[in-house]
Chains A and B, each alone.
Chain A
Amino acid sequence: MISFEKFTLDNGLKVIVHSDKSMPIVAFNILYNVGSKHEDPKRTGFAHLFEHLMFGGSVNVPNYDDPVEQAGGENNAFTSNDITNYYLTLPKENLETAFWIESDRMLGLAFSQKSLDVQKNVVIEEFNQSYLNQPYGDVWLLLRPLAYKVHPYQWPTIGKTPEHIANAKLSEVKEFFYGHYAPNNAILCVAGDVSADEVLQMAQKWFGPIPYRELFGKIIKKEPLQTEKRTLEVTRRVPYNSIYKAYHMCSRSHNDFSTVDLTSDILSNGKSSRLFQSLVKQKGIFSNIDAFITGDNDEGLFVITGRLNDNYTFLQAEEAIDAEVEMIKTEPISDYELNKVKNKFESNFTFGLTSANEKALNLCQYELLGDANLLNTVVDSYRMITNTDIQRVAKKIFATTNCSTLYYKADNTNQ
């Protein structure tokens, strides 16, 4: 049980406090409800580029990192399709530095041309390092637009292409900031050896004076139901053939989300899971296989991916995956197997809550989904799932017309 207290300031900022006297450091986490899904399709990668610019100085503090390091702190951030999250850990005596510096960059950024130019370059190198200079690195650049035709999940957070980043202008950056960065679009959590009173006081002192802001009210279009089988074949200089199958699934807040999550665990969480035992160990068709959900807040993807062994064709590989998927739809899973994935989930989930920063991030994420206390009830909600639920949801998801398949072919010539 993770205990916490929750407040909302007059300007709309939500503040959560988790007190834990045993922690030697305190975690300060601030989540902004802005991700790559809020971007213009012609200006992708912007939310993530923006995350970099948030470290380029703010209205009253010319440099972000120096004072944080001076206070013995460490900080970082990440951007997803749904959110941008900033976090610091620091000795508890210096907690106020986090309030000071984070409130200043919520108030306003320095918006320097030099910072923009450099960070554009840094992000393009990140694009190169993570997507272009890795074997199989461009998979998500191919799979997303195959699966999504309308919804902005059709591009990854890094963006569709480095050109979009290279073309970003300072004026657009400013516009993006005032449309998304606001107290009423953020959730703050402090976790560690602190009291709710002292946190609330500091929050009022530093964040309280920042005015409520009108946000970009852009409505994100829902992805229409997929009605035909989609495939794409590419050839790349990689050592082995790989296959990726993406099925549309429900949103994070949908009642079926936990059932779909467990279904992916039945297929591939742990060495005893079905795909690994059957297709890697027994049949030897794949050397690696995985099934997972993207876990997005809006309607996400259920992905099955595998790297083929040399003696097998794409056709054989796909038939083998389809047979496993068919089995989930037609044969009810045993109580034993269902219990197994539930235990596995509980363990996985609980291990994700052992440090101050993990607790703070999770409290913010569940608050965004509706209520921070979901963190304390989620294991029980997974315990309620039945074999009938699994079968019903599997039938809904695993249809050929709901699937986008990427055949990633190895070009072994000149290697």
Chain B
Amino acid sequence: MLNRAQQPPIKITDNIDIPRPKFINLNNGARLLIINEGDVDVCRVDIIFDAGSRYQNKKLEATATASLLAEGTAKYSSHQIAEYFDFWGSFIGTRADKDFTKVTAFSLTKYLSQTLERLEHIVKEPTYPTNEVDVWTSRGKQNLTVELDKTSTLARMELFKCIYGENHPYGMFAMPTDYEKISSDNLLSFHANNLGSVGSTIILSGKVSDNQISAVVKHFGETSWGKGRVNTLQVEESSPTLGKVFVSKPNAVQSAIRIGREICQRTHSDSSDLSILNTILGGYFGSRLMKNIREDKGYTYGIGSYMVSLRDSTMLAITAEVGAKYTKDALTEIWKEVNKLKTEPVPLAELSKVQSHLMGEVLRSFNGPFATADSIIGLINYNNLDYSLHDRLIKSIKHITQERLMQLANEWFDKDLMVECVVGPENPF
């Protein structure tokens, strides 16, 4: 007789084979990683430059330089470039974050060499035509204006500003008027000085063979171009503003809540254990915050806590959009959950559930070639491709204890060192 009340026996994953793609040092100072996986005929090329907004002289320079790469080269107009990639069914994504500029090309494997041929032009010799810069700035200004109408955007910006300081490279945000100050010359110079071959990393992932590898080497591995960055300096110290920030948004039906602080970097010995504590607090569906504030009280559609990792800093952020009338109560419950972690040991049943869940998460981060590529990119962001990050995390998941978690909660979850930001119709403070 089938016993439906009894869960079938489960096995806890304990040995995870983390893919470690070998890398090839190319003649021009770049390096190439190959992740050959998958059963459908598509592939992806990522080119990563140490060229984020932290290196810019003017707001938006890095973003504009990346976003406009495909808008004109010495040989081809913006329209010709767009036609070409669309014809071969390729997608090109170019963007800058605070630390890096990433160029990504998605291509059918059979057309990769065609894709790379034009990709080489846009990466190495963009011209930033004035009319294209104008279209980009006017669209960008509009899009940002719409973004700034969202409580969630405003709250996120406040949190970064409070944690790092609004003049810090990690706490700085562009406003619509900054779009007017960008010129073609700024972008040419940012490109020439930051997006060079030396120090860049190229990742080829998907279903590929030797043909695709030699095509990448041919277009991006032989001659050198531009100036790159080999030794990255640490970002300057943050200058946080602690306390509570409220931004009024009359008529909003929900309040956006963001709570957080800067915590230890991923190289720190507390980091991997701390990520388990974060998971318990708000890092998965069964977390304390979700169980209490969504599944018991129904104040929100979703609440979570995250460790946001930048190259030289990591921050903890608790985020939620809650019904406006529940704002105060939601804050009270968030702090209740934080305090509980400081004063009561995490029950063993809950701990073992989190351990299994996290091992599953590690497996899921290698679900297909592109998930694997994303994981590897995460490692580049972390200490230049140091694989020990995964090993330390797996070790932490296996050996974490109740005592250690409580100790970490007391060390890192100090309310006085956290910033609370709320954007909504009514001030809860």
Contact = CB atoms under 8 A, between A and B. Distances in A.
A209 B253 contact: no
Interface in B134-164: 135, 138-139, 142-143, 145-146, 149-151
B79 A126 contact: no
A355 B356 CA distance: 21
B21 interface: no
Nearest to A242: B146
Interface of A (DSSP majority class): helix
B253 to A, nearest CB: 5
A270 interface: yes
B356 A69 contact: yes
A299 B355 CA distance: 47
Interface in A321-370: 336, 339-340, 343-348, 350-351, 353-357
Contact of B298 (A100, A121, A307, A353): A121
A240 B142 contact: yes
Interface stretch (A214-222, A271-279, A395-403): A271-279
A60 to B, nearest CB: 4
A355 B2 contact: no
Contact of B7 (A24, A100, A237): A100
B76 to A, nearest CB: 12
Nearest to A343: B89
Interface in A255-296: 269-273, 277, 280-281, 284, 287-288
Contacts of A67: 7
A132 interface: yes
Interface in A119-166: 119-126, 128-130, 132-136
A60 B5 contact: yes
A371 interface: no
Contacts of A76: 285
Interface string B207-237: 0000000000000000000000000000000
Which of the listed residues A117, A345, A347 has the most CB atoms from chain B within 10 Å of its own CB? A347
B212 to A, nearest CB: 15
A149 B95 CA distance: 44
Interface in B110-155: 111, 135, 138-139, 142-143, 145-146, 149-151
Interface in B1-60: 2, 4-5, 7-13, 37-42
A331 to B, nearest CB: 18
Contacts of B251: 237
A72 interface: yes
Given A61-B5, A135-B149, A344-B86, A97 B300 contact: no
A124 B107 CA distance: 41
B382 interface: no
B179 interface: no
B42 A122 contact: no
B4 A354 contact: no
Interface residues of B, number: 78
Interface centre among A24, A94, A136 (most CB of B within 10 A): A24
Interface stretch (A28-36, A85-93, A383-391): A85-93
B79 A272 contact: yes
A134 B136 CA distance: 24
B190 interface: no
Contacts of A118: 295-298
A347 B5 contact: no
A280 B142 CA distance: 13
A20 interface: yes
A35 to B, nearest CB: 20
Contacts of B254: 125, 128-129, 133
Nearest to B252: A133
A60 B4 contact: yes
A172 interface: no
A74 B285 CA distance: 9
B100 interface: no
Interface stretch (B261-269, B270-278, B360-368): B360-368
A25 B321 contact: no
Contact of B368 (A60, A205, A354): A354
Nearest to A94: B10
B82 A272 contact: yes
Given A90-B360, A118-B296, A132-B253, A239 B146 contact: yes
Contacts, number: 235
B165 interface: no
A130 B300 CA distance: 12
A374 interface: no
Contacts of A356: 367-368
A122 B301 contact: yes
A9 interface: no
B371 A355 contact: yes
A72 B360 contact: yes
Interface string A11-25: 000000000101111
Given A25-B364, A72-B357, A237-B251, A351 B106 contact: yes
B66 to A, nearest CB: 15
B12 A239 contact: no
Contacts of A119: 298
Given A93-B13, A280-B139, A22 B37 contact: yes
A104 interface: yes
Interface string B83-104: 1011111110000000000000
Contacts of A22: 37-39
A23 B367 contact: yes
A238 B368 CA distance: 41
A282 B364 CA distance: 44
B370 interface: yes
Given A133-B151, A205-B2, A307 B39 contact: no
Contact of B299 (A117, A121, A336): A121
B392 interface: no
Interface of A: 2, 20, 22-25, 59-61, 65-67, 69-76, 89-91, 93-94, 96-97, 99-101, 103-104, 107, 117-126, 128-130, 132-136, 205-206, 209, 237-240, 269-273, 277, 280-281, 284, 287-288, 307, 309, 336, 339-340, 343-348, 350-351, 353-357
Given A25-B367, A125-B298, A133-B253, 13 more contacts: A23-B367, A74-B357, A121-B299, A122-B300, A124-B323, A237-B251, A240-B145, A271-B70, A287-B142, A340-B86, A344-B86, A351-B42, A351-B106
3 closest Cβ pairs, A-B complex = A121-B298, A72-B360, A347-B89
27 contacts: A24-B363, A70-B7, A71-B10, A97-B7, A100-B7, A100-B8, A122-B301, A124-B323, A125-B299, A125-B301, A128-B301, A133-B252, A133-B253, A133-B254, A238-B146, A270-B82, A271-B86, A272-B86, A284-B135, A287-B142, A307-B142, A340-B86, A347-B90, A347-B107, A350-B42, A353-B40, A355-B367
